[in-house]
Structure 1
Amino acid sequence: MSSDTPSTDLWLEQSRLDGMMLGAVTYGGFFILTVQAAAALIQRPRHGGKIADHRLALLAYVVVTFILGTIGFAANAKYTEMIWIDLRDTLGGPVELIENEMAYPINVVAISCYFVMEWFMQALLLHRCCIIWNWARYVMIPMFTVYIAMITMSILVLIQSSAGVIWYTINIQLAYLCIEVGLSVIYTILVTNRLLFMRGLMRRVMQEHEYYSIYDTSILMVIESAVLYSVCAIIFIVSFALHSNVSNLCFLSISHVQGIAQLLIIIRVARGQAIKFELPTPVAPVSTDIAFSGTVSDAPERV
């Protein structure tokens, strides 16, 4: 790199390369957790817990999202190689290749894979939320509406990307990101609120702490997974809106981070760490079955 290269261009190149390195690290974590999730779904839990009832569907989800994430990561890795090796003599150099990355089909393939991967991950969140809320219409309708809006926005982004538009000029992308994060936040609020309500019911009926402490664990699990993704997503949204190169640090990792957050829950559920109680004294019928990703308790519980 010549000494007269503007510092802004150097920062752009550094952020893109560092972002690819962070993407490799997060993909490594995504790969390891994918293997653990698949093994947990196939094998019966060590302590005799019941494996997820819909383990085949969950296993299919794990495999599909891993394939999509792998294709997206491979495409990004290849384009990174193209930037500094294969196409380094291109007029404008690496800066031109980074700024106009959507002009190359390999990047459209990467974006498409990650978008479809996001559809699957958000669909899993939607399914969990509907299960916990017992498919209540006043919860389902708004959530499905937001989900459809997210898919629509992503398709519009893909259409513009296919035309070779500069990434930061796609305003619909910002709306898509906000809707996607909003859906995750709404899911977290709804699920946490429901779990707190059911924890209160259990606490009034059963005095033993062991009967309702599992709700605390589940709430913490949901919040931890949401925070893991939301922090990364918010940093990306703000930097993207400001056209800051900081977005390059998050851009190639954000889908892997969300995938990791989902897999952490799947692994715990597949290992039999679901909420399950069987109460001996019948009172007013209040269902307290909790299911994550299609997992239910060993026996219906009635309070």
Structure 2
Amino acid sequence: MTSSEEPLSLRFAQFFGVMTGLMAYGIHFTLFVMTACLLMKQRHTMRRASFYLTYTCLQFTLSSIGMWRDVVGESVSYLEHGNDPAIAGPIEYYNVYFRSPPEWVSVLAFAACTWLQDGLLLYRCLLFYSNKRVIIVLPALLFIGSIVTSILFIIEVATSRDLYGSTSIDLGIPYWALSIAFNLVVTLLIIARLYVLRREVRRSLTPDAADVYTSVGAMLVESAALYSVTGLVFIACYARDSGAQYVFITWLGQFESISPLLIILRVAQGRAWSASAPPPVTNPANVIRLNHMRNSHKAGEQAASGVSVTVETVTADPGTRFAVDAEEEKKREKWHRLGLKSTQQVGDV
């Protein structure tokens, strides 16, 4: 075979895929640094901060290994074997002959990223449906199925040394199909739940506060829709052996790490849904706080009484009784007495 037998459009698709994959990796790196720094600051105050920090570091490491292997393979294939007359072209060399490191290294790294992402999504879905856990049965079965098929796929790639061989494709299609089906199901479940909660929250919070949890962007991030849509396009291209698969597979390798990073970043910022966020609110109740005035030269009633009155509106569920801390009540009585004493002194003058 000669290098002219390999379509130029196919070479361009693979090269373009790796180059744009590096752009996605840059986005991944930026989000990783932002999230890691935020989690480091909150590791002593935020629940599960250490867990999320370990998770993000592991995701980034695995994604970096997979990307490193792809870049090395691409460089060797195009720079050293781009015009090799013994093979059809750099793509054939990359897919068949390049073995240092072997193909299964990047396949294993990205598969592990998929396991981590799907595990986090399953956990998030469990939070949204904590009272209806039977709904989680289907996603859980799809999750287990994707892990089993991915292991078989990795073994086949390691044995045949060809990611795009017929047997590898026969195992790769069900692996990615199950993983993407899992993501689509979880995406729809989370968006459906967020839509229901959107109506409830908008009745109790201000529009700006509600948008933090219920905006379209929040829904897409919480449900990892980025990976689901990209994966759906990739599986169609992979099954048809289209050249576009080279583009989407590199994006998919990064999006499976970017999607959970966006969720964890929202968690670290306190903008993501949790088991208790946002708190349910319905009826308003007025709370009056008495604050001692340190400056006696203030004009008006505040100067006369030495006490400023701040009225705040808080919300609570119907029938909730507000418990007043004993120490706080003593302080309020003390400031009140000081205020009355100050009023008497002003009257004497």
The separation in 2 between residues aligned to 1:34 and 1:238, in whole angstroms, is: 30
Contact 1:15–1:245 at 8 Å: present in 2 too?
Answer: yes
Q: Which of residues 301, 317, 321 is equivalent to 1:282?
A: 317
CA RMSD of aligned residues (A): 2.8
Q: Secondary structure at the match of 1:167?
A: coil
TM-score, L = length of structure 1: 0.81
> Which sections of structure 2, spanning at least 5 residues, go unmatched?
282-314, 321-349
Partner of 1:91: 86
Query: How many residues were matched structurally?
Result: 276
Q: Deviations over 1:148-177 (max 9, x none)?
A: 000011011111101125433221211111
Partner of 2:173: 174
The separation in 1 between residues aligned to 2:205 and 2:47, in whole angstroms, is: 30
Q: Which of residues 260, 268, 271 is equivalent to 1:270?
A: 268
Query: Is structure 2 residue 175 aligned with structure 1 residue 195?
Result: no
Q: Deviations over 1:224-259 (max 9, x none)?
A: 563422332222111111111111111122120232
The separation in 1 between residues aligned to 2:97 and 2:195, in whole angstroms, is: 46
Greater relative contact order (CA < 8 Å, ≥ 6 in sequence): 1
The separation in 2 between residues aligned to 1:104 and 1:12, in whole angstroms, is: 23
Query: Is structure 2 residue 68 aligned with structure 1 residue 66?
Result: no
Partner of 1:183: 182
Percent of aligned pairs with the same residue? 25
Contact 1:72–1:109 at 8 Å: present in 2 too?
Answer: yes
1:152-301 map, 5 Å = 152-164=148-160, 166-168=162-164, 169=166, 170-203=169-202, 206=204, 208-209=206-207, 212-217=210-215, 220-224=217-221, 226-274=224-272, 275-277=277-279, 279=281, 280-283=315-318
The separation in 2 between residues aligned to 1:11 and 1:112, in whole angstroms, is: 28
The separation in 1 between residues aligned to 2:121 and 2:217, in whole angstroms, is: 16
Partner of 1:25: 23
Rate the CA distance shift 1:235–1:192 in 2: closer, same or farther, 3 A: closer
Q: Deviations over 1:117-157 (max 9, x none)?
A: 11011101011111121163312322211100000110111
1:21-170 map, 5 Å = 21-44=19-42, 52-87=46-81, 89=84, 91-92=86-87, 93-100=89-96, 105-134=101-130, 136-164=132-160, 166-168=162-164, 169=166, 170=169
Rate the CA distance shift 1:267–1:90 in 2: closer, same or farther, 3 A: farther
Q: Secondary structure at the match of 1:220?
A: helix
The separation in 2 between residues aligned to 1:102 and 1:5, in whole angstroms, is: 20
How much has 1:15 moved relative to structure 2? 1.5
The separation in 2 between residues aligned to 1:103 and 1:249, in whole angstroms, is: 21
Rate the CA distance shift 1:67–1:284 in 2: closer, same or farther, 3 A: farther
How much has 1:95 moved relative to structure 2? 3.8
Higher gyration radius (CA)? 2
Q: Deviations over 1:7-45 (max 9, x none)?
A: x53222222111110111111111111001101112249
TM-score, L = length of structure 2: 0.71
Rate the CA distance shift 1:188–1:283 in 2: closer, same or farther, 3 A: farther
> Which sections of structure 1, spanning at least 5 residues, go unmatched?
286-303
